[in-house]
């Protein structure tokens, strides 16, 4: 009987609830945080890995906690950079049969069974997303954030793509295909920015919260 309950949809609801409670309890006092996304497959030799370390270090020193998916690649780089600063380094790990393994640069480490609970934590506790080159998972986070902003389900917040060379082709395709077909509007491109330099990220954050208000740290970013 107990075994049947554990396999039931009802028991799954309790597991989901437990993940929500754990996330809320561990992150409620995190303070202003930036979530950094990117590929798990880009190692230390990658230019984008090295830039992710710089970006996270800069933002952490400026007073932003850094949140990542907790795995290798760009996630590891961002957590590593965060620990070089003065703010918290957070990893929201996902239990996967392949590829995902936890990196060792996390001050707060949480593990999730359910992607949608993990996604909620990414959105709820971030005042901005910085998105480095990545694959399906990174694209998923990018377009979910854009959808939530576009539909007004969350207030507009900075969504910043790092690496024009990587992202420009996607943006060009959206402009040449989606806009003419009427599936998005030209105004939707205001929901995100593309940058190539770490300091551009800090400038965008300060400008956004100067205009719209919000929990912006007092410290300026430095190289």
**Cα dist from 87 to 13, 56, 57, whole Å:** 34, 10, 9
Task: Indicate whether 49 pLDDT > 80.
Answer: yes
Q: Express each pLDDT in 191-204 by its tens digit.
A: 999 999 999 998 89
| Averaged pLDDT of the chain | 90
Biggest alpha carbon distance in the chain? 60
Query: What value, to the nearest 5°, has the Cα angle with vertex 78 and ends 136 and 102?
Result: 70
SS3 content of the chain, % helix, strand, coil (to 5): 50, 15, 35
Range from 37-41, 96-100, 114-118, 196-200 carrying the lowest mean pLDDT: 96-100
Residues 6+ apart with CB under 8 A from 135: 39, 41
In order of start, what are the domains of the chain with their CATH numbers?
2-212 (3.40.50.450)
- pTM to 2 decimals? 0.90
Give pLDDT, residue 14.
Answer: 86
Give pLDDT, residue 95.
Answer: 81
Using CA atoms, how far apart are residues 55 and 202, in angstroms rounded to an integer? 9
């Amino acid at each position: 009987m107990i075994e049947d309950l554990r396999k039931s949809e009802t028991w799954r609801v309790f597991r989901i609830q437990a993940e929500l409670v754990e996330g809320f309890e561990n992150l409620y006092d995190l303070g202003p945080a930036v979530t950094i996304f990117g590929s798990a497959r880009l190692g230390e030799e990658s230019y984008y890995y090295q830039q992710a370390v710089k970006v996270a270090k800069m933002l952490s020193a400026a007073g932003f906690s850094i949140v990542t998916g907790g795995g290798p690649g760009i996630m590891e780089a961002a957590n590593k950079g965060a620990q070089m600063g003065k703010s918290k380094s957070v990893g929201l790990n996902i239990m996967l049969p392949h590829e995902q393994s936890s990196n060792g640069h996390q001050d707060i480490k949480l593990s999730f069974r359910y992607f949608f609970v993990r996604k909620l934590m990414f959105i709820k506790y971030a005042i901005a997303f910085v998105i480095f080159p990545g694959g399906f998972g990174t694209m998923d986070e990018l377009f979910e954030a854009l959808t939530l902003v576009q539909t007004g389900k969350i207030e507009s917040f900075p969504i910043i793509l790092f690496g024009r060379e990587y992202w420009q082709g996607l943006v060009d395709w959206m402009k040449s295909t989606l806009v003419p077909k009427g599936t998005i509007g030209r105004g939707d491109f205001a929901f995100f920015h593309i940058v190539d330099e770490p300091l551009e990220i800090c400038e965008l954050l300060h400008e956004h919260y100067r205009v719209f208000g919000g929990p912006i740290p007092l410290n300026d970013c430095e190289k």
